[in-house]
Structure 1
Amino acid sequence: MSVSCSDLLCGEDSSIIFSTGGEALLECSSDQGFLMPEVEESIAGLIENERNFMVPCNDYIEKFHLTQSIDASNRADSVAWILKVHRYHGFQPLTAYLSVNYFDRFLYSHQLPKMNGWPAQLLSVACLSLAAKVEEPLVPSLLDLQVEGAQFIFEPRNIQRMELLVLRVLDWRLQSISPFSFLSFFAHKIDPTGNYTGFLTSRATEIILSNIQETNFLEYRPSCIAAATILCAANDLPHFSLVTAQHAESWCDGLHKDKITSCRQLMQQTAFANRPRKQPKVLPQLRVMTRASIAWSDSSSTSFSSSSPYKRRKLNNSLWLDNDK
């Protein structure tokens, strides 16, 4: 008896099973022309559906204060650990983004007790594991995933249970529309020749990952974040330094220059706050002597004179402080 693919499907819509999700980046060669009507329609569809994979920022921040299950600093610590493991294993940028996306969407819909303890670490491992299974061709073992200063080490079976809980809370919706979905499209909008699109997308990717810890970026849509990062990347090239948010607003429907401008300003503020500071100059330590010490040194001049010349030089180079002054 022959079995077709449709016989193996459950009650779900088959289009959902076989769809490539929001991360089906549009790969069009320059020979065919990048700005085809099909590409424009695909981008419009991504913008229409991107809110379905976002966490409402205002409600999320309110939950931080009301439930006290996790605060912004603890979330930043969890995201920082995810980024460390992401770099350690050489994961794709989308893997890190999806991990944080699962983390925030889970906390928005489900509360865990004492999130600043081991539950937060367990959730971070589970979200990173799920994202790696979605995006990475080679996935480390659950024990090898717990590196880079993990505060707690969990048994694989406990992580798998947490993964199932995350899947149920997210309603098994692991594909998500991210800023990376739009970068290539927006880069070609700035540079139709394609000469600088590689640099623009690469630089924009770095900016996205460097800002992923900031909770304030949750209020911006992925398309808005992508447009703002492309503008920041374009600012590094003299050819495109004059491209503004007003230009970006015309790239496709759904973009708003005010939102793009505020998102870009937030990125610049974050970059300024996180820039490495110069180490303070260390002045040579000066020895402070009181009058009592001076009197004692006068009475002991004989012993000093009979001692080594090093001690005399040390006394002469000291800073004397008069108690009366």
Structure 2
Amino acid sequence: MESPVLYCSEHLTKEDDEEMQQENGGDGDDDDHNNNDDDDDTDDDDDDDVDDPDDNDDHDDNDMNYIRILISREITDVRLNDQEVEVLVNDNWNQEIRTHAIRYIRRVTPQFRLSKRTIYRAVMYVDRFLFHRIIDNGQFWAVRLLAVTCLSLSAKMNENIDDVPPLSDYPVGAYNINVNAIRRMEILVLVEFNWDMNCVTPFDFRNFFISRFCRDVTKIDITRMNTVVIIMSVLRDLRIMNHRPSVIAAAATLVAVNRDFTIQELVIVINALPINGFLQIVSLS
């Protein structure tokens, strides 16, 4: 499986670079790149970045304990294995489903001001469902129904209850999809997942790695925004997205800090972390 560090440093598209420039001061108002989406990630503990310096030692201990808990959780989270990923990647119809679903999810979320974490988790749900269930070739109404359902469930898991859109507000285009159909699909997905909808995402690790890797306090905000752009670019590649979220978050943050890092330099930086025994980000073989 391709290294997420290599992916993040070598496979960012022109659009990703333009988005990072927009986040760093441009006027970009593309629906998929709405800065307010990132501002909505209020549960990312962003306030920790401005804590009293006298409390740093206590916060370091708390951060490390929190990260260890997250890593232990992500190890037990349901993820596809390499063979399962290849089955999806090599199926052209499944790839078309995935592309349509991601495009829909990213297009409609700005109107609801949903967070990037909600988008990411919705795509994780789509991938899990596609491995276990078959959507008949050409049934684009079912693809739209799946996309709406996964986004709705993700919003219910991530957003404040007052911010969760009613099912009737999700746009369904020309497809004959009503609220009852979405509810039935939600039950189908929940049963398929054994009601286990909670999963760790790279956004859970973002602030931790930024605090470790970005030592220039004047660049923390820019690094945070660029890290989001890089994490979201991972959605395009199922092989990369299937890596552990901590690995993706660390790789994305390092690339956001310095696009010119070599693999050897990345290893040195990662090895300096106290949790290195839990993180296996790159291999030199």
Q: Aligned ranges for residues 312-323 of structure 1 at < 5 Å?
A: none
SS in 2 for 1:212: helix
Q: Which amino acid aligns with 1:89?
A: F
TM (normalized to structure 1)?
Answer: 0.63
Whole-Å Cα distance in 2 between the matches of residues 170 and 30 of structure 1? Answer: 42
Q: 1:48 to 1:144 in 2, by over 3 A?
A: same
Match of 2:266 among 238, 244, 253: 244
Q: 1:200 to 1:65 in 2, by over 3 A?
A: closer
TM (normalized to structure 2)?
Answer: 0.71
Instruction: Indicate whether 1:170 and 2:193 are aligned.
Output: yes
Instruction: Indicate whether 1:139 and 2:160 are aligned.
Output: no
Q: 1:25 to 1:114 in 2, by over 3 A?
A: farther
Instruction: Indicate whether 1:155 and 2:181 are aligned.
Output: no
Q: Is the 8 A contact 1:122 1:162 kept in 2?
A: yes
Instruction: Indicate whether 1:207 and 2:230 are aligned.
Output: yes
SS in 1 for 2:171: coil
Instruction: Indicate whether 1:185 and 2:237 are aligned.
Output: no
User: Following TM superposition, by how much is the alpha carbon of 1:185 offset from its aligned partner in structure 2, in angstroms?
Assistant: 0.5
Q: 1:153 to 1:235 in 2, by over 3 A?
A: farther
- Show CA shifts across 1:55-77 (max 9, x none): 224233343378x5942233122
User: Following TM superposition, by how much is the alpha carbon of 1:134 offset from its aligned partner in structure 2, in angstroms?
Assistant: 2.2
Whole-Å Cα distance in 2 between the matches of residues 65 and 116 of structure 1? Answer: 19
Q: 1:213 to 1:48 in 2, by over 3 A?
A: same
Give 2:28's aligned residue. Answer: none
- Show CA shifts across 1:164-197 (max 9, x none): 1111112222221000111100111123564432
- Show CA shifts across 1:22-52 (max 9, x none): x775863243116522221221121122133
Q: 1:167 to 1:218 in 2, by over 3 A?
A: same
Whole-Å Cα distance in 1 between the matches of residues 72 and 122 of structure 2? Answer: 23
The percent identity for this pair of structures is 26
In structure 2, the gaps of 5 or more residues are 1-42
Whole-Å Cα distance in 2 between the matches of residues 53 and 121 of structure 1? Answer: 26
Give 2:152's aligned residue. Answer: 129
Q: Is the 8 A contact 1:76 1:214 kept in 2?
A: no
| Larger displacement relative to structure 2 (177-186 or 101-110) | 101-110
- Number of residues paired by the alignment? 233
Whole-Å Cα distance in 1 between the matches of residues 123 and 97 of structure 2? Answer: 13
Moved over 6 A (4+): none
Q: Which one has the bigger helix percentage?
A: 2
SS in 1 for 2:157: helix
Whole-Å Cα distance in 2 between the matches of residues 65 and 247 of structure 1? Answer: 32
Q: Aligned ranges for residues 240-319 of structure 1 at < 5 Å?
A: 244-251=266-273, 252-253=275-276, 254-258=278-282
Match of 2:118 among 90, 95, 98: 95
Q: Is the 8 A contact 1:98 1:131 kept in 2?
A: yes
Q: Aligned ranges for residues 7-156 of structure 1 at < 5 Å?
A: 25=45, 28=48, 29-31=51-53, 32-33=55-56, 36-64=60-88, 70-114=93-137, 116-137=139-160, 138-146=163-171, 150=173, 152-156=175-179
Whole-Å Cα distance in 2 between the matches of residues 94 and 159 of structure 1? Answer: 21
- Show CA shifts across 1:90-113 (max 9, x none): 211111011111111222333344
Whole-Å Cα distance in 2 between the matches of residues 121 and 181 of structure 1? Answer: 28
Q: 1:54 to 1:76 in 2, by over 3 A?
A: farther
Give 1:310's aligned residue. Answer: none
Whole-Å Cα distance in 1 between the matches of residues 268 and 111 of structure 2? Answer: 39
Q: 1:219 to 1:126 in 2, by over 3 A?
A: closer
Q: Which amino acid aligns with 2:110?
A: R
Instruction: Indicate whether 1:222 and 2:239 are aligned.
Output: no
Whole-Å Cα distance in 2 between the matches of residues 130 and 115 of structure 1? Answer: 24
Give 2:40's aligned residue. Answer: none
Q: Which amino acid aligns with 2:168?
A: L
